[in-house]
Amino acid sequence: MARASRPAGLERLCVVLVATRNPLNIGAAARAMSNFGFATLRVVNPFDPSYREARSAVGASSVLESAEQFSSVADAVADCSLVIGTTAATRRDLQHRLYTLAAGAPLLRKSLASGRVALLFGSEKTGLRNEDLTHCHWLLRIPTRTQQPSMNIGQAVAICLYELVRSAAPAAKPEKQKPATAGETERISLLLFDLLKASGYLGRRPGITDLEKLRRLVRRMNLSAPDAATWQGILRKIAWKMETGNAPKS
């Protein structure tokens, strides 16, 4: 990902993991942060203080080492101008505005241009508690199935961060190979037609019965110029072998 194409201010995002039980999930979140270029990890009352050594944080030791630890959500988000909670939204009593991740991400990015934004993830079993949600301006939901809404924390973090950098990625324009010319395609059709005649294929039905049908078959290959050259080489060699290798007609 070219650095220049990242939206401004992504470094102001704080990933806040609240009451996480499994240190491997903290490590996995750190790994995803490293993958997508986010550095600020904050943990609130982690269940297991050994998370800084989590083996799941492949390539993300610096994220874990610089992680800040807090004893309350209030402290963890104190310097943030926008606080967003993530939720599986299975509860009906949500008091907050709820956006899908795709709809909320642009709002989040916009706020990053002017200040720090906290993105909160709750514990494995309960998610964010009501008390945590009171610190949130609005909520984000990853569009999971209603029957199976609860995601692994590391996967949820990865998806949210992916969405934030997603639109910044340069549109991929695969390098198109130069297409074969009509003349090159025609030579392949004629070479193949000779092979079909020589092999006795043309008498068969159904299949290719004449040169026109064969031309259409070859056109549908949509050959690039290099591939057209390769096919000519292949067909010439096969034709040569068929001719010279054949027993003399009696």
CB of 215 to a copy of itself, least distance (A): 13
Shortest reach from residue 144's CB to a copy of itself, in Å = 4
- Do the beta carbons of residue 88 and residue 149 sit within 8 Å? yes
Tokens at residue 131, please?
């008390």
- Counted residue by residue, the chain has a size of 250
Considering the complex, state which of residue 58 and residue 113 has its C-beta at the smaller distance from a copy of itself. 58
Q: What is the dihedral of CA 58, 118, 19, 39, to 10 degrees?
A: 20
1 belongs to the binding site for a copy of itself (CB under 8 A): yes
Q: How far is residue 164 from each of residues 62, 138, 249, measured CA to CA in Å?
A: 21, 16, 72
Output 73 or 158, the one with its CB closest to a copy of itself: 158
98 near a copy of itself (CB under 8 A): yes
**Should residue 70 be labelled a site residue for a copy of itself when binding is judged by CB under 8 A?**
no
Helix axes 182-199, 211-219, angle to 10 degrees: 130
Is 110 a binding residue for a copy of itself by CB under 8 A? The answer is: no
Tell whether the torsion through CA atoms of 154, 157, 160 and 165 is positive or negative.
Answer: negative
User: Does 66 participate in binding a copy of itself (rule CB under 8 A)?
Assistant: no
Interface with a copy of itself includes 115 (CB under 8 A)? no
- The pattern of x and - marking residues 148 through 187 that bind a copy of itself according to CB under 8 A reads xxxxx-xx--xx--xx-xxxxxxxx-xx------------
